[in-house]
Structure 1
């Protein structure tokens, strides 16, 4: 469900209801199988999707990416992204889309060395 509808307003209760188990059962089984609670996993999954969108859709604003992964507030999304990724969405986009650094002494295209 989390992968099929990552932007849905999930709660443990709504996940449990869709799975046909109690909240406690869902939380315990999910944590036992996945290694982290369901909503922690959902946040990481959303941030993975957001990172992909930030690099694949350079014209999309941070607010548009936030909405695509389930956040109605760009500020809350930015805080969650920075908390999980250690970098703001805008900085991530800049570093992910910039060319890789050249090793020292490697000529760059358009620059002539004598």
Structure 2
């Protein structure tokens, strides 16, 4: 059986390894870590700012299942997405109450 030993290149002509090294030195983290972090940041924002169901948020950021999204989110933030949403809303309410002017 013959193995394909042709170096893999990106559409820009760079090898994957070279692209990964350049990306990491420029951005400060490997491409897949960056993508995972950005997805979770987007999901966290959607959880704070919308009433979208978890399934919709999962699909919007590229997960095919709510379960996979929930596990990834929990690994990133230390709590499930539903708890994150509840806690962020409680924090927002508390901040709104403490910033509202009092009338004596």
After TM superposition, the score normalised by the length of structure 1 is 0.69
Structure with more of its chain in helix, by fraction: 2
Q: Computing the radius of gyration over CA atoms, which structure comes out larger, 1 or 2?
A: 2
Distance 1:80 1:100, change over 3 A: same
Deviation at 1:88, TM superposition (A): 0.8
Stretches of structure 1 that go unaligned for 5 or more consecutive residues are 1-12, 104-114
Corresponding residue number in structure 1 for 2:74:
82
2:20 is the counterpart of 1:27: yes
Q: Report the alpha carbon displacement of residue 19 of structure 1 after superposing the two structures with TM.
A: 4.2
Q: Which residue of 1 aligns with 2:85?
A: 93
Tell me how far 1:91 sits from its aligned partner.
0.4
What count of residue pairs does the alignment treat as equivalent? 88
Q: Distance in 2 between matches of 1:20 and 1:66?
A: 33
Of residues 54, 66, 71, the one that matches 2:58 is 66
Q: CA deviation at 1:49?
A: 0.3
1:80 deviates by 0.7
Alignment map for 1:38-77 (pairs within 5 Å): 38-58=31-51, 60-77=52-69
Any stretches of 5+ residues in structure 2 without a counterpart? 1-7, 99-104
Q: Tell me: higher relative CO, structure 1 or 2? Use CA pairs within 8 A at least 6 residues apart.
A: 1
Structure 1: which 4+ aligned runs deviate by more than 3 Å? none
